[in-house]
Structure 1
Amino acid sequence: MSAQVLVSRPPAPQSLPPESRPVHSVEPAYNSGEHTSSGLATSGFRTAKYLLEEWRQGGDTSYYQADSDRDCSERLRQEAKRLAAECEARAQRSQADSTRRLGERLLDIHYWRAELERETRDVTAETGQLLQQKSRLERALDATEIPYSIASDNLQCRERRVGAELVRDGVELELLREVELIRNVQDLLKRTLDQTIQQIRQNRDAKEKLEMDWSDKVEAYDIDNKCGHYNNQSTEIQFHHHSSKFEDNTSTPESWAQYSHENIYKAERERMASINLRSLIDNILQDTAEDLRSQCDVVNSAFARRCEEVEDVKRKLEDHLQKTLKEIGGQENNIAALKQAIKDKEAPMKVAQTRLYQRSYRPNVELCRDPVQFRLVSEVGELSESVEYLKQKLEESEQSLRNLEDTRMSLEKDITNKANTLFIDREKCMTHRTRYPVVMKLTGFQ
């Protein structure tokens, strides 16, 4: 049986030369050869012993291990002393750098706080001016009710025109355009008013965000200012073991500055939108007032032209009525003459037909188609044709007389209707239109 020898010391450091490193394990020594002990003489003794070379190697290993431990200890002492000095210097540098960075942070906070305060003042002033424009829009919207009622009343009055006078003339077209224009103006003013209310709400929201950001920065400034005055001799300092942990909701310097920048940018954007909206409101009120007054003048001119036209047509109708009455008298005389002419053709017709009747009794061969017979037949035809022509002309004359009578009645009715139209347009509509509001009222200044 053989025994294996193991080294109980830890291995030598890696810095030792390869040939000086201790042997971790050696091959077991066997007792063999001529000095081998065997039998009862070696009973009770170990059978495997260290060799002399192994004993020497074990001693060398102990020496090298002691030298290595001393070198390591001395090196650790030097490194600890140096590390303590470095840590002290680093702690002082870190504290000084933190204090400096706190000062820089205070400058940044002060800058953004001043910018937020300035923008808040600007937004507040702009919101006040926009509120004044909102009041103008409301007054202008109320002022459009009078033109709308006037135009609607004009259209309703003109619905009372009678007969052919109930026509879609230029006045009605202009009145319809006026009503449509007023409705469009009202819709535009309502949309602009809604947009103004929405812009005021957005301005106030932007102001609220600015004020909240400003308030947070005031609080942060006080906290950082207090932190900047702490030092190693301060009495308020203490351990806070979990304070060095980053919170999940913390921001970065870039996102912190970007947040305030975005708030100011949004506020400036809303303020510029408010300024543009105020300018737009001025233009809208001015343009709508001018458009309404211009359309009012167009309608008044159309009324004037229409009244002149109706008056002229009325005079012409009266002239035609006089001529028609005169023509009716002439046509009545013509009808009487035609009737007499038809009556006058009865006697010649009787004579011709009697001759033909008597000659039909001629005996035998005497019943001849002589020229006399042909002429008598032709005479009856001519008389019949003449009577037919006269009767046809009589019917046409009677129809013409009836037409003249209808025309007379129509002319009289038209004259009456046009007199009613003139009364409606002049006395009702044009008088009512004198209450049309002026430009200053339509622009919301009154």
Structure 2
Amino acid sequence: MSAKHHENRDFRQYLREDNDDLQRYFRKLRTCAAITADALKCNDNCVAVRRKRIHVDSNDRVDAALGKEKDTVMDCVKQMKEFTGIIEKQIEINGESKNRLIRDFTLKQEAVSLDHRAAAVAVDSKYQSRRANFDADNLELRDVGPLQRMSEYQEWVENTAVNLNASSKARTRSRKIVQRLIATMRDLAQVMRQEAINVENTLKDSIRTWNEWRDSLQGQLNAKDKDIKVADAAIEEISMSLRLKGSPLQIALARQNQRCLRPGIELCNDKAQHALQAELNNLKSSMLSLELSLDKAKESRRKLDGDRYKLQRKLEICQQNVAVDYELLRQIRATYPQEIQLSGFLVGELPKAIVK
């Protein structure tokens, strides 16, 4: 058996090993693609949950970070699809190279077998008895093998060399693809994880900002509650003063009415009358002043109620937005794959259902 024949067998073994490695890393790539799809789903869920926020700018830093993260993940998915196409094409090339080597190996075995049988015709004892049955004048038998073995035809040798060369190129390309795949997927995993860290840091900053605003609003709300209590106390005090002023006013009016019943009242313009009139005017002026103060106090109270309602509404919005960002950070973002998973090369094989 020729050296090319042995080399063919070795190359088939090497090609099988390289192709098995390529298949294994292809499964890893599909694992990575599935995990990256989970990362994209996590991003979409974050965007959907953030729509629950109230009265906020739709283009804040968190939304911008989520948008950038989605663009990065989509770019990674695109590169994975490109690698998938390259690997599928290379697997097909490896299969063709393997089939050519197997066909070449099979034909060489047949040729070697025919060479052995041809050489045995002249020397094997079982063929000696058949010579007597042939016409010696018309039959020429050789006591040696054929002038050229079928397995050593020049075109067969050249074809074997071409197949071995193609197999060597396929092996080299397979190894290069695997090396590029490993390096690229690890780089992509680092990029995606870095974007995820940026999103989480932005979320933490957003939560801290919302918490500070919530605490500020809570402080303002407490101050408004104190002002409302002061206003209520002032209204109660003014109302009490009005009630206290009511009795003296009634007495002054009663006195004046009684004096008006005297005969010749038109001539009654003494000091007592002047004192009663002055007292009545003073009481009316005090009552009017108290009523104006009460109106102002009630108006101030209504304004405080309006301000408190606005603060309460802002506080509810702030609490809602803090709850949304907390939900993103503690629940949804917790499902984002880690870098070791995104790389796909330190994770177990995919389940058979996914591989199929």
The TM-score with structure 2 as length reference comes to 0.60
Amino acid at match of 1:426: Y
Deviation at 1:273, TM superposition (A): 0.9
Shift of 1:272: 0.8
1:236-276 Cα deviation digits (max 9, x unpaired): 89769xxxxxxxxx9x9664433222211111111111111
Q: Within 2, Cα distance between the matches of 1:405 and 1:199? A: 75
Aligned residue in 1 for 2:11: 119
Assess if the C-alpha contact under 8 Å between 2:200 and 2:329 holds in 1.
no
2:29 alignment counterpart: 137
Deviations 1:120-147 (A, max 9, x none): 1110111111121122112222222332
Contact 2:65 2:199 in 1 (8 A): yes
Query: Corresponding residue for 1:381?
Result: none
Q: Deviations over 1:421-445 (max 9, x none)?
A: 1110013443321222233332331
How far 1:283 sits from its partner (Å)? 1.5
Higher relative contact order, structure no. (Cα contacts within 8 Å, ≥ 6 residues apart):
2
Aligned pair partner of 1:298 in 176, 195, 198: 198
| Matching of residues 299-378 of structure 1 within 5 Å | 299-316=199-216
Contact 1:123-1:203 at 8 Å conserved across structures:
yes
Runs (5+) with no aligned partner, structure 2: 141-149, 228-303, 349-356
User: In structure 2, which of residues 108, 112, 119 is the aligned counterpart of residue 217 of structure 1?
Assistant: 108
1:159–1:166 contact (8 Å) kept in structure 2: no
Residue type at the aligned position of 2:105: W
Deviations 1:373-407 (A, max 9, x none): xxxxxxxxxxxxxxxxxxxxxxxxxxxxxxx9999
Match for residue 160 of structure 2?
260
Q: Offset of 1:208 from its aligned partner?
A: 0.4
Alignment match of 1:425 (pick from 325, 331, 339): 325
More helix, by proportion: 2
Q: Which among 91, 109, 114 is matched to residue 200 of structure 1?
A: 91
Structure 1 letter corresponding to 2:12? T
CA distance in 1: counterparts of 2:139 and 2:308, whole angstroms = 118
* Percent identity of paired positions between Structure 1 and Structure 2: 16
Contact kept in structure 2, 1:157 and 1:424, CA below 8 Å: yes
Unaligned runs of 5+ in 1: 1-108, 241-249, 327-403
1:167/1:324 Cα in 2 relative to 1: closer, same or farther (>3 Å)? farther
Amino acid at match of 1:129: D
Q: 1:160 Cα shift?
A: 1.4
TM-score (norm 1): 0.49
| C-alpha deviation, 1:290, in angstroms | 1.9
2:70 is equivalent to residue 179 of structure 1:
yes
408 and 286 in structure 1: CA distance in 2 versus 1, 3 angstrom threshold = same
Structure 2 CA distance for aligned equivalents of residues 406 and 211 of structure 1? 89
Shift of 1:158: 0.6
Structure 2 partner of 1:154: 46
Partners of 1:409 and 1:294 lie apart in 2 by: 42
CA contact (8 A) 1:158 1:166 kept: no
Using the TM superposition, name which of 110-119 and 316-325 deviates more.
316-325
Q: Is the 8 A contact 2:12 2:98 kept in 1?
A: yes
CA contact (8 A) 1:209 1:263 kept: yes
**Would you say 1:437 and 2:337 are equivalent positions?**
yes
Checking the alignment, whether the CA contact within 8 Å between 2:22 and 2:87 is kept in structure 1 is yes
Name the CA shift for 1:190/1:406 in 2 (closer, same or farther; >3 Å). Answer: farther
